[in-house]
Chains A and B, each alone.
Chain A
Amino acid sequence: MSDPKPNELIEKIDYIPPQKGWMDVPVNIRKGMYCYASNPKSVEYVHLPNARAWNPIEEDWKLPDNWKEIVHTAFRDRLDRFRSFKVFMDICVRCGACADKCHFFIGTGDPKNMPVLRAELLRSVYRNDFTAAGKILGKIAGARELTLDVLKEWWYYFFQCTECRRCSVFCPYGIDTAEITIMAREIFNLLGLNIDWIATPVANCYRTGNHLGIQPHAFKEMIEFFVDDIEEKTGVKVDPSFNKKGADILFVTPSGDVFADPGTYTAMGYLMLFHYLKEQGLNVTWSTYASEGGNFGFFTSHEMMKRLNSKMYAEAKRLGVKWILGGECGHMWRVINQYMDTMNGPADFLEEPVSPITGTKFTNARSTKMVHISEFTADLLYHNKLKLDKSRNDNLIVTYHDSCNPARGMGLFDEPRYVINSVCNHFHDMPRNTIREQTFCCGSGSGLNAGEDMELRLCGGLPRANAVKHVHDKFGVNMLATICAIDRAVLPPLMDYWVPGVGVTGLTEMVANALLMPGEAERTTNLRGEPLSGMEE
């Protein structure tokens, strides 16, 4: 089955909801809009319950007999453990401010993709099971009983939310649908209802240290392949270290960048940057055990997030490093910024991060002891520690996509822009309503970057792509920069579909292209092997 054409997708979008009330419209699990069910082997590997083969489009989901009881107990438990969940269940006034803020609603027009209604799917059952008004007045109070169809509706729509938190910016009470989606997915996991695009990376990460299941020797080989590639393009042989005890800094980045283009060029960028700084005293090591920055456990449950995240501190402790440097990744940074220290800290065996090159103390990371590569690089650039030839990036007209998690779960806005402006001459931001805290999701976050849900991804990515198209048409933008590995994997097909002619890059790739490496040969191509500006035949 081929994907629908852009105009076919657009024609389907209708923001006017149907006549029939939403409780009376049954869920229709449609091909192209959902991800395949979890592989039971992956579920079993991490000891999660109710592992079995099942299929979302079949009538029988092979649920455990007491599934309703499981849901009810789990619901209650989460109300008691998370104030966010309890308050968000109670205080929504359905003002509708969030309705047209969700990229999935904008791109599909499906009313159940309005954040308010997505939450109401759960809230209606909450009213029925846990509130006096709902118990007495029933449907009049907006309550409904949990049935198999309701569960299926939950599953379909809570796997059509990327936990991007854009709605929470506009909500007058800060109700965060991501929080509600997280709870719903925790409940699904108790019933063995995960999607495989999350469950298998989780099992891989648990076993091999990274989502892709790359074993230690292979991880090293892949990096060494980059080393050869860098030598070929720059004439400089970089020399990374692995699992090295006594290094000062542990570097952790998403494994996606070791695996697939264009993330690989960003990975090469890291290698070149670290090599460049080695002379000046940077002593950094990669780990094969903590070889994943991302955390698909975050899309499974709080507990699974903690289990996978624990490797970062454990490895930092084992290797005896001083602090941790984190690469370009989206949800990885929400986890590090808002969860890691709480879950797996205190990291009292590490030191407050200090840049060995500039002496800058990263006091904002003094407890978690983990610094973002954009903070690190921006500091280097500010102190003129990198010799650059910006004009090498002159063939790029760049715009920047704020990834949801570093945007709304951290506030990392100006560091990456400073880096971009330092290494390239042509930068244009997208319109105000589509960047910074109002940035639009790529449409594939929170584990929805599978192949089988391509239509969903293209719909959800429409608002992002449309803003890129705006600067593409206006300024001739031909490169979309981003600091997220999922973005680097999913934005290229999104661009090809909606805005052909725009490539995708990581920040550090651009840094490395502009970087004047000591002892380098004449650079005629960038890391992708494309001719540099002025070097075209």
Chain B
Amino acid sequence: MNVKYMFSLVAVILLFLLAYIGVEAAGLQVLFGIVIPYAAIIIFIIGVVNRVIGWARSPVPFRIPSTCGQQRSLPWIKSSELDNPFTTPGVVARMFLEVLFFRSLFRNTKTTIAEGPKIYFSIEMWLWLAALAFHWSFLTVIVRHLRLFTEPVPFWIALLEKADGFFQVGVPGIFLSGLVLLAAVFYLFLRRVIIPQVNYVSLSQDFFPLFLIFGIAFTGILMRHFAKIDVTGAKQLAMGLVTFHPTIPQGIGGIFYVHVFFVSVLLAYFPFSKLMHMGGIFMSPTRNLTCNTRAVRHINPWNYPVETHTYDEYEEEFREKMIEAGLPVEKE
């Protein structure tokens, strides 16, 4: 039994019971449907802004990008403007690919050592693929949910929903994004348990968001296909929240509140956790700076004068030896 993930699993199960019993037995719909979601949103916004401001307050004293391609030097040598960007458009392109397609992770390899010794590097795409599947499907699910918060529903959300339900399996139709999200989260969990090195470095806080997001996707699918909750009621509650006229419609059931509670917990947890990598990736000085430090001087706001050993002090110590060796000196 692995203590690290058991702790997080138990925490998520307790959260489930808390919301389910709270609504079904104690009738705390207002708490779980209105108060907690509002509180979570406030914590999320203030927390994230605080965190980003905290990073931004620390200056970037030196320009230290990781140069992953040929520098711009002589005109006849082709430089890599993407991996060693000399100009801002190059940096934007580098960041674009990094943020949207996880380009650095795409480079991933697996190292093995065999008899000889011989070290092999093989392509290892699974983490990159799972990460892409996870983030993109999660984004699709979130955007799709905007239909509950808008009236009338903008055409592009309807369009996305249509594309997502492309396979038209079952009634109501299955959304691809939900299944992909569930599968990707499950894979990310499995690799944390199975790959020995990844397991060794994993903390409880690496499992907690996985279980939580799994819970969110699972309760979502449960509501749509099995518990078949009243969608009109759900939309009423959601619209109430965004228009600041919160209401609690009748008969949307405990699972719905669990779903909302899980999302609230995720939002409130976000600013205090590693999930802040979402903001941090934009702030990483090894990626988001131009690599033109020899052409354009970078300013360090706290650059301060330091104690140095001057030439005069040097000559003072070695003058006689220098003269004897025929080296020029300032003072004979």
A-to-B contact residues, CB < 8 Å: 10, 13, 15-17, 21-22, 47, 79-88, 90-97, 99-101, 106, 111, 114, 116-117, 120, 131-133, 140-142, 165, 168-176, 179, 206-209, 215-217, 220-221, 242-245, 288-289, 302-303, 306-307, 310-311, 314-315, 318, 336-339, 341-343, 345-346, 360, 362-368, 370, 375, 378-379, 382, 407-415, 418, 431, 433-434, 437-438, 462-463, 466-467, 470
Contacts and interface: CB of A to CB of B under 8 A. Distances in A.
Q: Is the interface of B mostly helix, strand, loop or mixed?
A: loop
B88 interface: no
B77 to A, nearest CB: 5
Contacts of A306: 306
A17 B196 contact: yes
A86 B59 CA distance: 10
A378 B291 CA distance: 21
Interface in B52-96: 54-64, 66-74, 76-80, 83-84, 86
A418 B62 contact: no
B281 interface: yes
Given A116-B201, A462-B117, 15 more contacts: A13-B113, A80-B57, A83-B55, A100-B197, A141-B203, A216-B318, A221-B325, A302-B61, A310-B308, A341-B293, A342-B297, A364-B86, A410-B67, A411-B71, A414-B78
A364 B201 contact: no
A169 B64 contact: no
B293 A97 contact: no
A131 B294 CA distance: 37
B272 A131 contact: yes
Given A303-B306, A346-B297, A169 B197 contact: no
B314 to A, nearest CB: 5
Given A96-B201, A120-B201, A90 B276 contact: yes
A199 B229 CA distance: 70
Given A91-B277, A172-B105, A217-B324, A466 B117 contact: yes
18 contacts: A17-B200, A80-B58, A83-B55, A97-B105, A100-B197, A114-B201, A131-B272, A142-B205, A170-B104, A174-B286, A207-B314, A207-B317, A215-B318, A289-B315, A342-B63, A363-B295, A364-B71, A375-B73
A217 B318 CA distance: 9
Contacts, number: 313
B308 A314 contact: yes
B322 A216 contact: yes
Contacts of A101: 109, 111
Given A100-B110, A338-B62, A343-B300, A216 B321 contact: yes
Given A87-B284, A91-B277, A411 B63 contact: no
Nearest to A220: B325
Instruction: Give the top 10 A-B pairs by smallest Cβ distance, nearest first.
Output: A91-B280, A411-B71, A217-B325, A174-B286, A411-B67, A142-B203, A96-B198, A100-B111, A17-B200, A433-B121
A360 B77 CA distance: 13
Interface of B: 7, 51, 54-64, 66-74, 76-80, 83-84, 86, 98, 102, 104-105, 107-111, 113, 117-119, 121, 127, 131, 195-206, 272-274, 276-277, 280-281, 283-287, 291-300, 302-303, 306-311, 314-315, 317-318, 321-322, 324-328
Given A97-B108, A106-B111, A173-B284, A415 B102 contact: no
A81 B328 contact: no
A410 B206 CA distance: 34
B55 A172 contact: no
Between B64, B84, B109, B206, the greatest number of chain A beta carbons within 10 A of the residue's beta carbon is seen for B64
A191 B63 CA distance: 28
Contacts of A132: 272
B293 A342 contact: yes
A83 B273 contact: no
A142 B7 CA distance: 13
B55 A87 contact: yes
User: Which has the most chain A C-beta neighbours within 10 Å: B63, B98, B119, B321?
Assistant: B119
A104 to B, nearest CB: 12
B277 A173 contact: yes
A133 B311 contact: no
A176 B286 contact: yes
Contact of A99 (B67, B121, B201, B307): B201
Contacts of A176: 64, 66, 286
B58 A82 contact: yes
Contact of B206 (A22, A94, A215, A343): A94
Contacts of A410: 67, 71
Nearest to A304: B306
B58 A338 contact: no
Contacts of B195: 96
A170 B205 contact: no
B200 A168 contact: no
Contact of B117 (A10, A336, A382): A10
A368 B293 contact: yes
